[in-house]
Amino acid sequence: MQKLFFLATITFSLLQASTNLIDQKYGSLSLRLRSHYIHWDWKKETAKRVDNWAMGFGGSLQYQSPSWNNFYTHIGYYFSRNPWHMKRSKIAFVKSGKDMFCRYKVAKGEGFNIDVLAEAYIGYKTKNSDVQIGRFLFDSIFIKPNDSKMIPNAFEGISYEWKDEKSRLKFGYLTKQKLRDKTFFHDVITFGKDLDSDGQISGYEKWRENDDAGSNHALSWVNLKKAHKDTDNKIIVAEYTTKCDPLVLVINTTVVPDLFGLFAVEPKYTKKYGQWRVFASARVVLQRDLGAKDIGKLGIAVANLKGEGDGYKDPYNVDGGLYMAKVGATKDAWSMQLAYSHALDKADIIDPWRGFPTGGYTRAMAQYNWYANTSTWMLQAKYDLQAIVPKLQTMIRVSLQDFDDKKRGVQADANTFEIDFLKRFAAYPGLYVKLRLGHTVGESDTKDITGQIKPDPSFDELRFEISYIL
């Protein structure tokens, strides 16, 4: 019998009235301490699917210098310690908990600890603009810090942002990425690296470069070399946001030159009608092949993120698309929304930068629903329980995910249920406790186009976090 599935996160965060630990004339200094425990329980274990857990203690130290002729510096040191952990031989099975440690480092026998200078940049800031050069966090439709574990997703390069009351323009030239579980910066798209020159990616080699759950395994170091492609790739981002009440429009283009590009348009609408606030938005994503098909010409299936071409109409290029929409309303203590998304029956969307293409619409935690020909419905409701317990809120999300049964490299259908509780405290404005519970059930008898039965995607997960900012 499947164990009750709990997707639980308890977050405790305390923020003093002033988080600056030094005299303001010397800049600002803040310290954050965090602790996580994550447990993952599969409904049915197999040789490749083993129940797993991880625990970490760590945090960050942030310093920003005072401005001098508009110039300033920012440094962010992050660390994670894992005194209790699974055996080194079992780390390949760790799922959500993998962000507590660096699998590549552990596999090499270098221990579970993480120490990394994830942020280190020089900035130039005026009233309307901000330029950052070095290591920094970047936020756009397809790229996010995703700081929900010990260490955020960070980048090296140049970032420029200009904004006024109604518009924002943001550019990014990103030369390196550091995923949350890495102790080093790596290529922004390349999967794995052939360290022993045997012509394949095996063992811990797959953890050397971009091994995000949303990465495309066909864009590996070996395949890029075979197609005479660069393994030192860049991301070019341009995003424009403009407001004209009650509308907001976001336009984004994100390109990895000579491989592929993403383009997104997202209109948003918010309007008050008496005591009701009504909101609606839509997002259209187009993905265009700018050279990844050169790998496809070698007979390598680039359309699927796992490199499995069975079931794809054209497995040898990455042209694809995705669209989604949501509508909702808020009144007093209530807020509800209904969302839908559908990926075109072409190629999977490539986004290994923690932005989640369906984020804010239909993406459930630990789910990736932008595989080709995937449809998802999600219903979300929030309620403020202030009348029962002061500053206590709850949120419920139910998602129905319809994946393409024929596609070999795509999971079986799965439905998820999640419930969150968020408690704040009037005496400590920065203190909150958050609990998340969930249940996910997948199909166990789905056959792909080759007649093989897909693994049952049902699993249980528990997350517990304590965070303290001072």
**DSSP per residue over 212-236, as a string?**
-TT--TTSBHHHHHHTT--SS--EE
Across the range 34-52, mean pLDDT stands at: 93
Distance CA 215, CA 382 (A): 32
Nearest alpha carbon to residue 153 among 186, 112, 190, 104: 186
Query: Which helix (H) or strand (E) covers residue 295, if one does?
Result: helix 293-296
Residue 3: the pLDDT is 41
| Whether 347 contacts 312, CB under 8 Å | yes
Could you tell me how far CA 187 lies from the centroid of its own chain?
17
Identify whether 5 is part of a domain.
no
Category of 99 on φ-ψ map: left (φ > 0), alpha (ψ -120 to 50) or beta: alpha
Number of neighbours of residue 178 by Cβ within 10 angstroms: 22
**Mean pLDDT computed over every residue of the chain:** 93
Cα separation, 388 vs 286, whole angstroms: 46
- List the CATH number of the domain containing 259: 2.40.160.10
CA atoms within 13 A on the CB side of 101: 29
CA distances from 115 to 61, 144, 254, 275, 391 (A): 11, 21, 30, 50, 36
In a domain, 6, yes or no: no
Dist CA 115 CA 248 (whole Å): 40
Q: How far is CA 184 from CA 61, 81, 180, 211, 335, in A?
A: 18, 16, 10, 13, 41
Please answer whether residues 233 and 226 qualify as being in contact, where contact means their C-beta atoms are separated by less than 8 angstroms: no
In this structure, the strands spanning 11-13 and 28-42 are unpaired
Does residue 188 register a pLDDT over 80? yes
Average pLDDT of the residues in 271-275 = 94
Q: What one-character DSSP code corresponds to residue 107?
A: H
Q: Are 56 and 464 contacting, i.e. CB atoms less than 8 angstroms apart? A: no
Domain of residue 286: give its range. 11-469
Q: Name the residue with higher pLDDT: 346 or 17.
A: 346
Strand runs labelled E in 198-319: 235-244, 247-256, 260-273, 276-289
Domain annotation covers residue 142: yes
Residue 263, both tokens? 């383009």
Q: Write out the H or E segment, with its range, that includes residue 293.
A: helix 293-296
Angle at 97 between CA 91 and CA 98, to 5 degrees: 50
> Tell me, what's the pLDDT at 394?
95
What does the alpha-carbon distance between residue 359 and residue 324 come to, in Å, rounded to a whole number?
10
User: Which of the 8 DSSP states describes residue 410?
Assistant: S
Per the CB < 8 A criterion, the answer to whether 142 and 355 are in contact is yes
Higher pLDDT, 18 or 389: 389
pLDDT band (50, 70, 90) for residue 287: very high
Instruction: Let me know if residue 428 belongs to a domain.
Output: yes
CA gap 180, 145 in Å, rounded: 9
Distance CA 366, CA 418 (A): 11
Q: Which pair of structure tokens corresponds to residue 389? A: 């317990």
Q: Is 304 helix (H, G, I), strand (E, B) or coil?
A: coil
Each residue's pLDDT tens digit, 142-158: 999 999 889 999 999 99
Sequence-distant (6+) residues with CB within 8 A of 189 are 210, 215, 216, 219, 233, 235, 256, 259, 350, 352
What's the mean pLDDT in 271-299? 98
Task: Give the chain's domain count.
Answer: 1
Please report whether residue 450 resides in a domain.
yes
Q: How many residues does the chain have?
A: 470
Task: List helix spans (H) across 81-189.
Answer: 103-107
Pair of tokens at residue 30? 């803040």
The answer on pLDDT for 44 being more than 50 is yes
> Does the pLDDT at position 195 exceed 60?
yes
Q: Give the lowest-confidence range in 199-203, 319-323, 400-404.
A: 199-203
Question: Is the separation of the CB atoms in 285 and 333 below 8 Å?
Answer: no
Q: Please check whether residue 219 is in contact with residue 227, taking contact to mean a CB–CB distance below 8 angstroms.
A: no
Residue 5 has pLDDT above 60, yes or no: no
How large a percentage of the chain has pLDDT more than 90?
Answer: 85
Sign of the four-CA dihedral 369, 370, 374, 375: positive
First to last CA, the chain: 45
In three-state secondary structure terms, 259 is coil
In a domain, 1, yes or no: no
What's the pTM value of the predicted model, to 2 decimals? 0.93
Q: What is the pLDDT of residue 20?
A: 66
15 pLDDT band, cuts 50/70/90, is: very low
The answer to whether residue 3 is domain-embedded is no
336 lies in some domain: yes
DSSP type of residue 452: P
Say whether 106 sits in a helix, a strand or coil. Answer: helix
